[in-house]
Amino acid sequence: MSEPMHVDVDDWHQPLSLVQSPNTGLADGTPELVAGVRNTLIEHPAFASGITAIQRCHRMGRFGLEEPGCLLITGVAGSGKSTLRKEYARHYPRREADEGTEIPVLHLELPAQPTIKNVAERILLELGDPLFTRGSAEAMTSRIVTLFRNCRVELVMLDEFQHFIDNSSEKIEARVADWLKHLVNITKVPFVLMGLRRCHRILQSNEQLRRRFSRQIELKPFGNSDKRSRRIFDGLMRSIWTNLPVSPAPELVGDGDHLDRIHFATYGLMGYIMTLVSTSVEIVLNEKRPCIDQDVLSRAFVESIWPDACGHLNPFHPRFVCRPLTNDKEPFCGYAC
């Protein structure tokens, strides 16, 4: 894996460094073009700092330290956690060797209602255990330890870790913390946990686990409230517009309130920005429109982000009252907490 640029975690609000559009290898056509936009990787400094943190954790884990350093990555939905996980793992695919299957980076998304047993099952399934549903949680954990060694696992990334906390009691959280601490200790493999901000809660139930995960970063939305953050957000959007298969209307790249409207529509989150943009591209291509304009963005917002955005609740409507959509039942309710 090539070295990502280093950016301090506390100073990630810088202009993005790269926009990469994957080559689909398919003939031109609306579905392929829209898929290309949707799969575009925006390598901005927040993304680069996340890659750097995971890479550091991975490298130190190769030394088999008694207490491997682990990492917690948090952020609201759409901040790029899953993209970060998949992109890092893409550079370390499983491979078949003479001694068997090697899985340098094991990564998975936790089930919606996880228990120690069904998470152990999911890990065993990813490790290729044909009997992944067999045995007690203790027996499964023992097999995980053996397979980590046999498959030469160097790093584990678990996404949606907040599911372990949702609808659980403090007793269950303590059991999960103990199990995770035991797994880290006995395998000496570093773990990267990813999820919403409430993931911090499970670390509070176990002092030793909290020490293992002392390295923590948060993926934050792009800002738009001051000159510096506004300049950065404007640079982001200009880079995105430049790399699209269709053109934006002049007002979207000139002076005006377009940045505010896009920010209100996406909360400055990369996932929502690319959803809004790719849906807009799809509308323009399907209807053979000349460009992406405010009307297209208005429809794209309703289709892909908030179906209930009628009239003044749509950031691209002339009567929209400029404010974050964080009230009850609005798309970003709870994001400001």
Measured CA angle at 193 (ends 267, 17), to 5 deg: 50
Q: What is the CATH number of the domain that holds 261?
A: 1.10.8
185 and 147 belong to one structural domain: yes
| Residue 74, domain member (yes or no) | yes
Which of 218, 251, 273 is a domain's end point?
218
What 3 state SS string does 269-282 have?
A: CHHHHHHHHHHHHH
82 and 179 belong to one structural domain: yes
DSSP secondary structure letters along 29-70: -HHHHHHHHHT-EEE-HHHHHHHHHHHHHHHHHTT--SS---
87 and 109 belong to one structural domain: yes
Say what the pTM is: 0.84
| Residue 332, domain member (yes or no) | no
pLDDT of residue 332: 95
pLDDT of residue 136: 94
| Residue 14, domain member (yes or no) | no
200 and 248 belong to one structural domain: no
Which of 159, 189, 218 is a domain's end point?
218
Sign of CA dihedral 30, 34, 40, 42: positive
276 and 163 belong to one structural domain: no
pLDDT of residue 35: 84
DSSP secondary structure letters along 136-201: -HHHHHHHHHHHHHHTT--EEEEE-GGGGTTT--HHHHHHHHHHHHHHHHHH---EEEEE-GGGHH
Rounded Cα gap, residues 292 and 289, in angstroms: 8
| Residue 320, domain member (yes or no) | no
61 and 147 belong to one structural domain: yes
| Residue 41, domain member (yes or no) | no
Domain that holds residue 307: 222-313
232 and 179 belong to one structural domain: no
Under 8 Å between Cβ of 192 and 71: yes
Tokens at 86, concatenated: 């998949």
| Residue 29, domain member (yes or no) | no
Which of 157, 187, 218 is a domain's end point?
218
199 and 268 belong to one structural domain: no
Which stretches of the chain drop beneath a pLDDT of 50?
1-28
Strands 95-97 and 100-102: antiparallel
Residue 197 Ramachandran class (φ > 0 left, ψ -120 to 50 alpha, else beta): alpha
pLDDT of residue 107: 97
Tell me how many domains the chain contains.
2
167 and 287 belong to one structural domain: no
| Residue 7, domain member (yes or no) | no
Map tokens 């491979």 to a residue.
95
| Residue 38, domain member (yes or no) | no
Strands 215-218 and 71-74: parallel
pLDDT of residue 17: 42
Q: What is the CATH number of the domain that holds 69?
A: 3.40.50.300
